[in-house]
Amino acid sequence: MRNAMKRVTVSTIVMILGLCSIGFGQKEFITVNGKKVEIFISGLENNRKDKPVIVFENGMASKYGSWETVSNEISKTSAIFSYNRPRIGESENDSLPPTTKHIVENLRKMLLAKGLMPPYLLISHSFGGAYIRSFASSYPDEIAGLIFVDPVDFTKKKGDGDLPYLEIGLTQHQIDSMFAKPYNKFKEKLYAEMPNFYVEEVKILSQLTGDEFKECDSTPLPDVPVHFIMAGAYPKTPDDRGETIFDKKKLFRIDKNLKMKRWIALLEPLRYGKFFYCSNSGHSVQTDEPETVISSIKLALNDYAKIQKEKATN
């Protein structure tokens, strides 16, 4: 949780909350458990049996508008579905914590209610990665593929958060003294000042991190196309809360390399696992380099078609 939270800045939050709306397709509302949810559907003319539906899961406290360029292109050949989680955008507050189980069940209900039947190619950004990984654990037979766009690191185990600092040369004592009290104060300030919809998702991330994301990976990844897309550009406005005893840029690179190793290890057992490194993209790859995400989706669909062909001939 320490690493997940320490780089949250005001500029990051403004970027998250100020995403634009999508241009093509149809915005509408659906009722789930008595509450209104804002959804966006496009490409329904391409919705056919056994053809994957493209489903987008947003980052923390984010609206679906960040997928605009990607969804406009993909909806030319596939049915696409995106939405805003409870409390976000025009989706109503359902007064329930946005746990992975709750969000996964809500999403599945909405898809089925709109006649969007599996299989699903799930694409996520950032914190949304925890949700689609959980969907794949709960309903592996409904998954056509998974694309994680610079995801929250759901592979992280206890102690992994300290590894970049240890590798850069800090002692465990230095790490503990540097983050314990400042982090608690930062969290209190965040909870007091940020909107409820943001705070609720931060709390869930804290719970997931403390439990080593066991809710997310209760079963192995299904053997379907799985892609990781990593943003490699150093932030233009990095965290400036006074950590000066180490090289922040070097730490950033070390942290990326450690994540990369863990993510690639997940892909190695799969027939169609792919890893993309975007050296010039910030965290929101879908807006910085939408063509990379578009290409990833098309590759995943192509590989899924190969899998289905193989099954048909066996």
What CATH number has the domain bearing residue 100? 3.40.50.1820
Per-residue pLDDT tens digits for 242-280: 556 789 999 999 999 999 999 999 999 999 999 999 999
Q: What is the mean pLDDT of residues 294-312?
A: 96
pTM of the entire predicted model: 0.89
Answer whether 26's CB lies under 8 Å from 41's CB.
Answer: yes
Is the pLDDT confidence value at 184 over 90?
A: no
Answer whether 222's CB lies under 8 Å from 143's CB.
Answer: yes
Per-residue pLDDT tens digits for 39-49: 999 999 999 99
Range of the domain at 66: 2-313
Q: Say what the pLDDT of residue 242 is.
A: 52
DSSP state of 129: H
DSSP 136-163: HHH-GGGEEEEEEES---TT--TTGGGH
Three-class secondary structure assignment of 32-52? ECCEEEEEEEECHHHCCCCCC
Q: Say what the pLDDT of residue 8 is.
A: 42
Per-residue pLDDT tens digits for 59-95: 999 999 999 999 999 999 999 999 999 999 999 999 9
Per-residue pLDDT tens digits for 102-161: 999 999 999 999 999 999 999 999 999 999 999 999 999 999 999 999 999 999 999 999
147: which strand partners?
A: 123, 227
Q: Are strands 143-149 and 120-125 parallel, antiparallel or unpaired?
A: parallel
Per-residue pLDDT tens digits for 196-217: 999 999 999 999 999 999 999 8
Q: Which two tokens mark 141?
A: 């037979």
3-state secondary structure of 99: coil
Q: CA-CA distance, 37 to 54, in Å (whole number)?
A: 18
Domains of the chain: total: 1
Q: Say what the pLDDT of residue 308 is.
A: 95
Q: How confident is the model at residue 293 (pLDDT cuts 50, 70, 90)?
A: very high
Cis peptide before 182 (omega within 30 of 0): no
Exposed (0-12), middle (13-18) or buried (19+): which is 246, by Cβ within 10 Å?
middle
Helix (H) or strand (E) holding 122: strand 120-125
